[in-house]
Amino acid sequence: MISTHHTALKVYGANTEGVLNAAVGFDESTLQPTYELRVGVPGASAGINIAQRLGLNPEVIQAARARLGSQTQEVSKFLDRLHAELRELGAERQGLHRREQEVEREKNRLAAEGCANSVPRSASSKRSWSWCCAISSFVLARR
């Protein structure tokens, strides 16, 4: 296991069989770790951005960015965009999961309501209806 901010090692990890990149989550707005581990994705180095947010002399920030090679800067921008998209997708996935749960609850409510509101009048229909409701209840309970 290697922990690094070196772009060459991130590229090596992405291109070498048997080597796997990973990133730990960090919220730049709060300057706090998120305690997420993203396996398969190299991490973005936010050190210069954080230093700038904390008020480090702008000349020092500019000099630090100037020392980065253009390839490193491009990879860093790419990783920043990638991590932003991953965060958006994660939030979207959570929203979809919540929506699926809501739909399932509503489906169950409507199925239960359908049995309760459709009581037949004839004796033979009542027997069929009872079996239908019993099966529906069993199926709903098994989910």
48 close to 58: Cβ distance less than 8 angstroms: no
42 close to 10: Cβ distance less than 8 angstroms: yes
Q: What DSSP line would sit under 93-124, residue for residue?
A: HHHHHHHHHHHHHHHHHHHHHHHHH---SSHH
Residue pLDDT tens, the chain, 143 long: 666 777 888 888 888 999 888 888 888 788 888 888 888 888 877 888 889 989 999 999 999 888 887 777 788 788 888 888 888 998 999 999 999 999 999 988 888 887 656 555 555 555 555 555 555 555 555 55
Distance CA 44, CA 86 (A): 12
Distance CA 65, CA 87 (A): 25
| Structural tokens at position 109 | 């409510």
| Structural tokens at position 57 | 């002399």
40 close to 23: Cβ distance less than 8 angstroms: no
- pTM of the prediction? 0.50
